């Protein structure tokens, strides 16, 4: 665990040195500040737009940081040959994968926490219904989402370059997030062997829509039942575990 922590801390230092996070943070503050300012003109329902836009923005920005920071870890180290000193130490390759994964999660969660704190600040100033329990669930689901994305990116890192990894992950994010209902409809209304193939593919895909509480938070609906929170947490844990295991297995068979 000491080795995993050392690898993860190196990625946190990288976040502090990079300007990406600060640019996204300022951009989010400016946009949410501008939208909130419209309250002075008594625009009806503007607080809901702020919530909707703010939640979407913080999730997307956190997603960007998780993908870009995690995707470059293995390819950049292999290209720069800095992977050799790391592998010369008494570390298993599963440990290296786990360390990179934990670093990606830590980087994205730190960024997400700051973004979420800003969002909560704007959320609490709104005039409509508020739910601290729902906000807590949104924070938990955000962390689970970033764990899933980081594990997915680490898995893809064994098979493709950084640019291809980022592109594929973005396509999955947009496709599953935007067309999950359409994909479900294709599976349910297909027949025969095609339905079986579609069903297997559908259930193997990471269901990123599980983590989206945007509409619920925007309209201040009731919090999710505890069994739903536990089910999504269990799903995320086992999915990430499988991805990291296979990522470590493939990485362990590579020759450098």
Say yes or no to pLDDT of 173 above 80. yes
Say yes or no to pLDDT of 124 above 60. yes
Average pLDDT for residues 60-75, to the nearest whole number? 87
Average pLDDT for residues 76-86, to the nearest whole number? 66
CA neighbor of 145 nearest in space, from 74, 205, 83, 62: 62
The reply to whether the predicted model has a pTM over 0.95 is no
Count of other CB atoms within 10 angstroms of residue 149: 26
Q: What is the pLDDT of residues 139-161, one digit of tens each?
A: 999 999 999 999 999 999 888 88
The 10 Å CB-count burial string (b at 16+, else e) for 199-227 is eeebeeebbbebbbbbebbbebeebbeee
Average pLDDT for residues 53-77, to the nearest whole number? 85
What residue spans define the domains of the chain?
2-252
In this prediction, residue 13 carries a pLDDT of 63
In this prediction, residue 204 carries a pLDDT of 79
The span from the CA of 49 to the CA of 117, in Å, is: 18
Average pLDDT for residues 175-196, to the nearest whole number? 69
How would residue 40 be classed by pLDDT, with cut points 50, 70 and 90?
very low
How would residue 241 be classed by pLDDT, with cut points 50, 70 and 90?
very high
The span from the CA of 193 to the CA of 126, in Å, is: 51
The span from the CA of 124 to the CA of 174, in Å, is: 29
In this prediction, residue 86 carries a pLDDT of 61
In this prediction, residue 28 carries a pLDDT of 78
Say yes or no to pLDDT of 42 above 60. no
Phi, psi of 212 (to 5 degrees): -90, 105
In terms of pLDDT, which residue wins out, 187 or 41? 187
Q: How far is CA 221 from the centre of its chain?
A: 23
Q: At a CB cut-off of 8 Å and minimum separation 6, what does 60 contact?
A: none
In this prediction, residue 18 carries a pLDDT of 67
Could you tell me the CA-to-CA distances from 89 to 79, 83, 84, 124 in Å, in that order?
19, 10, 9, 49
Say yes or no to pLDDT of 237 above 50. yes
The span from the CA of 8 to the CA of 171, in Å, is: 27
How would residue 41 be classed by pLDDT, with cut points 50, 70 and 90?
very low
In this prediction, residue 122 carries a pLDDT of 79
What the block records as the tokens of 67 is 């993908």
Average pLDDT over all residues of the chain: 79
The span from the CA of 203 to the CA of 187, in Å, is: 10
In this prediction, residue 72 carries a pLDDT of 83
The span from the CA of 150 to the CA of 28, in Å, is: 22
């Amino acid at each position: 665990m000491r080795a995993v922590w050392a690898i993860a801390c190196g990625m946190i230092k990288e976040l502090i040195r990079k300007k990406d996070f600060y640019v996204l943070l300022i951009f989010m503050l400016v946009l949410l500040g501008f939208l909130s300012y419209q309250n002075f003109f008594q625009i009806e329902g503007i607080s809901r737009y702020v919530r909707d836009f703010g939640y979407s923005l913080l999730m997307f920005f956190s997603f960007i940081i998780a993908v870009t920071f995690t995707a470059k870890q293995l390819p950049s180290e292999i290209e720069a040959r800095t992977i050799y000193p790391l592998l010369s130490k008494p570390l298993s390759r599963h440990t290296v994968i786990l360390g990179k994964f934990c670093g990606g999660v830590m980087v994205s969660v730190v960024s997400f926490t700051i973004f979420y704190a800003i969002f909560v600040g704007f959320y609490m100033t709104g005039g409509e219904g508020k739910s601290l329990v729902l906000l807590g669930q949104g924070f938990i689901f955000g962390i689970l989402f970033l764990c899933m994305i980081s594990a997915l990116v680490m898995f893809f890192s064994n098979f493709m370059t950084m640019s291809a990894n980022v592109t594929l992950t973005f396509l999955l994010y947009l496709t599953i997030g935007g067309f999950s209902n359409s994909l479900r409809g294709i599976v349910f209304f297909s027949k025969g062997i095609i339905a079986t193939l579609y069903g297997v593919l559908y259930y193997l895909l990471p269901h990123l829509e599980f983590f989206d509480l945007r509409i619920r938070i925007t309209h201040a609906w009731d919090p999710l039942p505890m069994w739903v929170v536990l089910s999504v947490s269990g799903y995320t844990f086992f999915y990430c575990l499988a991805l990291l295991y296979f990522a470590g297995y493939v990485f362990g068979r590579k020759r450098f």
